Amino acid sequence: MQSRTFPHTKSDRHFDISLRLLMIAVGVTLAGCIVWLGLRWADTPTVPADLVPLTELAPRSGSLTAIEAGSSEARQLLLAPGQVFRCVSGNRVTFTDRPCPTKVR
């Protein structure tokens, strides 16, 4: 049996050349990106200068007493992670992980 070979046309050659050029361009770009990322990763950062000057403030002594003098209701509000409360207020039913308020506001 005789094998037939098809002649290459001019468009096939241009397609092959453009495909090879595209592969070379992608390969060079990929290698450049890998080198650039490697250089950035290897570069040790210097200590950054503060963009905003920081000043240290002493804590106020009155803020601690204001927290202690707060309402006892706020201090007793505890979360119950394993428990769900069903609260009914008027015609609305809500579910929460906090105890239901005793007073209707």
Q: Which pLDDT tens digit goes with each residue over 57-79?
A: 777 665 555 555 555 555 555 56
- Chain centroid offset of residue 87 CA: 35
The confidence score (pLDDT) of residue 8 equals: 61
Helical segments of the chain, H only:
10-42, 62-68, 72-75
Does the pTM surpass 0.75? The reply is: no
Contact 98, 85 (CB under 8 A): yes
Instruction: Return the DSSP state at 65.
Output: H
Higher pLDDT pick, 31 / 76: 31
Residue-averaged pLDDT of the chain: 75
Contact 26, 18 (CB under 8 A): no
Most confident by average pLDDT, 4-13, 61-70, 76-85? 4-13
